[in-house]
Amino acid sequence: MVRIMLRYHHNSGTKKGGWSIAAKILESLQPEASVSRIEYEGPRIAIYTTNPRYFVDNSNVIGELVVTLRKRIIVKAAESIRKSPEDVRGYILDSAPKEAGITRLFFDEVLGEVIMEATKPKLLHIPELTEQEFFIRTGWRLKMRHSPPLSSSAIEQVYYALRSKNERIEFLRASGERIFRERLYPRSEVTFTVLGAAKEVGRSCFLVSTPESRMLLDCGIHPGAKDPVDAYPRLDWLDTLVEGIDAVVISHAHLDHVGFLPVLFKYGYGGPVYMTEPTLALSVLLLTDAIKVAQAEGRTLLYDNNDIRRMIMHSITLPYNMVTDITPDTKLTLYNAGHILGSAVVHLHVGEGAHNVIYTGDFKFDNTLLLRAAHYNFIRAETLVMESTYGSHSDVMPPRNETEEMFVSSLRDTIEEGGKTLIPVPAVGRAQEIMLVINKYMRSGELPEVPVYVEGMLKEATAIHLAYPEFLSIQLKRQIMESGDNPFMAEWYTIVDHPGRRAEIVDEPGPSIIIATSGMLEGGPSVQYFVELAEEPKNKILFVSYQVSGTTGRRILDSQTREVSILDPGTGKMRVIKINAKTERIEGFSGHSDFNQLGRYIARLRQKLHRVLIVHGERRKTEEFSKYVQQRFRVPAYAPSLLEAIRLY
């Protein structure tokens, strides 16, 4: 007797949504398929079998079902035939060569998956451990991972939260029922409401509504704003409570895109959040750190660690390029955005071919040492929602090699003078790119070898980069996975994992380079280093990332008087710092597309576009860029205001 868990939805009229899917699946399978139950698992349909071999031998069956049903389907072994974790562990350790260096076996009982981390996963390509053979022998799905040479507490936090078995099963089932219910309204309509990042850089948050669904794209805070009305996304303007949201999609792990997400869970959101796996780990890192920073400064944040745990529990991670149903009328695909590790360009396909929305998030349309250029090859793209951080005609960055030369010669000058260079960086993205550049030039001898200090949080973020090498540029991935030459762990790098060492580093005679967070001198160790280094003329503060208006970093760059008032992290008091050190800005390393790259991206999509909405840029830039798009590409372009709702279809 087959237990079918796809329940009939009482609102779905005469057609029985879940039942009809399950019936179609059963109809197309032979009795030997031995299906024990069919169940929703978030955006996938899970078929449980007591005969895994049938599905391995007839792999075409599922492929055909996916094509006819146009749903993601996964085959699982019924719990009754799954081997115990102890037996599976024994089986793996007996068959795997010792040199493969297995460091972790994590049994995800909810998904029936074993995550195996190894230092040399290539050596595990043996017949006993192929996906199919492992499934037949053990009833578990095997997922292999490269085990990073540095540990990350954020990744541990994710693993820990995934142990809450019952809560997760219930969540996946409930969200599956919501995703796969029958459509109530056959007509497709799409509106787009701007809840943040309108003519400003910060608090990205947009609502996409259809008659069937309410989807939130990003949920960030404004890093430079103090008043809640300016700092948080305007969720107070939602026409429903947060419970009414069907899905949240996070483009990438910067706080101006994800910083408000735990608050949604605090106020009752219980639905899924879609993002890539690295975005989840990096978000956990940054959100947890934000709590620590706030505590250290005597502030309280709007969320706590328990809200982060609930966020992890409700996260559904997706690889790039995988089409996934997220509501009854919308499919989501995440594509590489080239901005930071795991960053995604979001593609929403509404209705059966009715309308397609591309939301770039933050993106870089050029290769870097760290990442590949953003994906552009969409089949359809009627509406493009695009960032415009560098949307002014003057925002043209020098070519990459010139940027590197400028950077290296700037560092060399300070080293030769005997000074120390502070490079404030956001923990994720620029930090790793800068480490790769420094490594490249110290290796070649073009940059004198001096100690490079890397502050603690960057170690965590770097560890997460090393845990997901498949998301990095092809060359870097190869370097880490195959040659074992890990550029993040070169001999000149010293990781500072205790704040007590900072005084030593500052007092040490002779030149050095210090890479520290935060990137805009808003909290974090970079502020402490700045206070200590700013008054010495030999030193240098070298900015390599975008400085949002209102932040300390921006005030330093704009300061005519060469003075800045700052909260001294040592004393907790406001203090005026005289800036005798040199201050410099190098923009070419940005993870954002410059003016030309933004234009090239539109040129690539031009034939498909019906309209372009310009967001995530300073007021003047969004307006300038939308005018440019209209004139140059003859596509309707527009910079929406905060709280504006636009009918897309």
Residues near Zn ion (CB under 5 A): 254, 362
3-state percent helix, strand, coil for the chain, nearest multiple of 5: 40, 20, 40
> In the complex with Zn ion, which residue's Cβ is closer, 102 or 197?
197
Among positive and negative, which fits the CA dihedral 204, 223, 271, 195?
A: negative
Peptide bond into 84 cis (omega under 30): no
> In the complex with Zn ion, which residue's Cβ is closer, 487 or 591?
591
> In the complex with Zn ion, which residue's Cβ is closer, 511 or 519?
519
Shortest Å distance, C-beta 426 to Zn ion = 8
Shortest Å distance, C-beta 253 to Zn ion = 8
Alpha helices in 192-298 (DSSP H): 228-231, 255-258, 261-266, 277-296
> In the complex with Zn ion, which residue's Cβ is closer, 254 or 372?
254
**What's the CA gap between 62 and 38, in Å, rounded?**
13
> In the complex with Zn ion, which residue's Cβ is closer, 280 or 609?
280
Shortest Å distance, C-beta 607 to Zn ion = 28
**What's the CA gap between 161 and 143, in Å, rounded?**
18
Shortest Å distance, C-beta 88 to Zn ion = 40
Shortest Å distance, C-beta 112 to Zn ion = 35
Shortest Å distance, C-beta 261 to Zn ion = 14
Tell me the Ramachandran region of residue 601: left when phi exceeds 0, alpha when psi lies from -120 to 50, beta otherwise. alpha
DSSP 151: -
Nearest to residue 96, comparing CAs of 118, 77, 114?
Answer: 118
Shortest Å distance, C-beta 437 to Zn ion = 19
> In the complex with Zn ion, which residue's Cβ is closer, 313 or 614?
614
Q: What are phi and psi of 155, to 5 degrees?
A: -65, -40
> In the complex with Zn ion, which residue's Cβ is closer, 254 or 465?
254
> In the complex with Zn ion, which residue's Cβ is closer, 9 or 254?
254
**What's the CA gap between 183 and 211, in Å, rounded?**
9
Shortest Å distance, C-beta 141 to Zn ion = 33
DSSP 480: I
Shortest Å distance, C-beta 92 to Zn ion = 39
Q: Can you give the C-alpha Rg of the chain in angstroms?
A: 26
> In the complex with Zn ion, which residue's Cβ is closer, 61 or 273?
273
Shortest Å distance, C-beta 362 to Zn ion = 4
CB–CB of 393/628 below 8 Å?
A: yes
Is 226 exposed, middle or buried (CB count within 10 Å of its CB: 0-12, 13-18, 19+)? exposed
Nearest to residue 631, comparing CAs of 335, 298, 393, 417?
Answer: 393
> In the complex with Zn ion, which residue's Cβ is closer, 362 or 624?
362
Distances (CA, A) of 309 to 263, 318, 391: 12, 19, 37
Q: What are phi and psi of 602, to 5 degrees?
A: -65, -40
